[in-house]
Structure 1
Amino acid sequence: MGGFIFVPLLVVGFFILLAGFFTVKQQTAAIVERFGKFQSIRHSGLQLKIPLVDRIAGRINLKIQQLDVIVETKTKDDVFVRLKISVQFQVLEQKVYDAFYKLQNPHDQVTSYVFDVVRAEVPKMKLDDVFERKDDVAIAVKAELNEAMSTYGYDIIKTLVTDIDPDIQVKAAMNRINAAEREKVAAEFEAEAERIKIVAKARAEAESKRLQGQGIADQRREIARGLEESVDVLNNVGINSQEASALIVVTQHYDTLQSIGEATNTNLILLPNSPQAGSDMLNNMIASFVASNQIGEEMKKKNIEKGIVPKKKPKRQAPPRAEEGEDLNY
């Protein structure tokens, strides 16, 4: 009978002894209490406690944790914006007691401080400044959290403003403003490019006109030189200037008719081509020359009488040239 009682007691004792052993994971701390009073803090590895006397009150995670807090607030220019604040924090190993017993819910505590700091800093800024100075907001949040949470055994590693989301209507307006600015810049560049094209085209046309005028001037100069040489040649064979001019005019007249007839794909041109056409043209030219000379002489006489144009002095003859073997000394 005694043997039957001893076996169950042995089994119960074995399980009670086995309950005195427990393990703690890496980067974790276990809080051991004895009859409801803090006894000790156990770290990673195999640990021993007194069965039925000691108990594990809780475990604290010593790893770096991250808490994302979304805060909606108003900026200085009355724009509602949602900010996502990421807080990275860690329980200090030497302050596990404070983290476990002094703070009931650390996440709620961190969230409250984040709301308080963000809603104190962002209303001082305009919307554009919030985007540009988001690091200032993050620094302010970290400073406030470090001061408050260090008392409870928490160390704030980093705070980040990971998202800034304005109201959807404000965002659409900002996109329109940005698009308008880009279109303005594009229009300015296009206008500048068009101006450069116009200036270059105008310069090219001016250069073309200059070269064209220069070519026409050179052409007329060569024509006049050729006519002068033609008259000199005709004068050398005993033809006077009037007859030479007539011959040149008639020759050019028939040369023009010949060149028009030889050209292809030309428009219809009506020209006088009677036998007396050349002589009529010559007579008209001679009459014009004579009339212009008479008018010029009359104007010179009137100007001389009025004293406007002085009379021309007779040209001084050049001294005779000395021929070979001739003495000009008198």
Structure 2
Amino acid sequence: MMLRSALRVPQRPSALVVPVRLFNSQQPVSFFQQERLPANTVIRFVPQQTAWVVERMGKFHRILEPGLAILMPFLDKIQYVQSLKEAAIEIPSQSAITSDNVTLEMDGVLYIKVIDAYKASYGVEDAEYAISQLAQTTMRSEIGQLTLDHVLKERQNLNHNITSALNEAANDWGIKCLRYEIKDIHPPQNVLEAMHRQVSAERSKRAEILDSEGHRQSAINIAEGEKTSKILASEAVKLQSINEANGESEAILLKAKATAEGLKHIARAIEETPGGRDAVALQVAEHYVEAFGKLAKESNTVVVPAGLGDMGSLIASGLGIYSKVNDTLNSKKQ
């Protein structure tokens, strides 16, 4: 009877009922879910990407999967509701000191997901608070090992190291840290001014280096151009000299061949043509008289033969020269 009367007592919200905590603060939550857990109505429909932790007589019984679920009346109780969706937790701004004693103000965003509803329900009292506090302490620890320059340059590595450290601790809580992102880094004002001066000096240095490199490259290009121009000019003069020498040699050869061919024809005409020798004698006499006439025009020295008035003797002397040359050639042939 006592048990039956106890069963007749209407169920009221107990002071030990834990309100539902959803990691995704941006997702709208109804007033009913904020105030109380889903009631045991024997037949329940579990939403997708949600895990309901059921206790039977105060002890963990099972985890309800999405879909239809049947509960024992009065014995089973939905004690925890865990969202299996990825959630973003904003890490508030905090101060951290680098290894070179620079105080930084930093905040971030942590992306987590419940992978074990049992551990998330019974492994930690407030998973969101615990993971946010762990993220803050881990971030301060990681920043304390780096200098200011490394913190600014290696933000991606810093995020990876913080995520790895959080996963080692959050594994016992059934939570997986997907990634951690540092939102803003606020150095002190004097450090910012020093960084601005350093950037300006670095840019001025790079500008001067680039300017000097430009002058150096310009001088090198001019010198290379002059060198190439002189080499090409000398090559052109060399080729011109070679071509002129080849042309002169070919001209001499052609002239010599032409002279030889002419002499052959003259000799053949003298030997084979009747009266050829007389014609040659007459031509020699004419050239002799012509050459003698040019002496007075082309030279300051005038040669006057003894018998200038006797033109016959002058022509006879020219023919005598031809006769002597002819006799010499005939004697050599014999």
**TM-score normalized by the length of structure 2:** 0.49
Instruction: Mark the structure with the bigger radius of gyration.
Output: 2
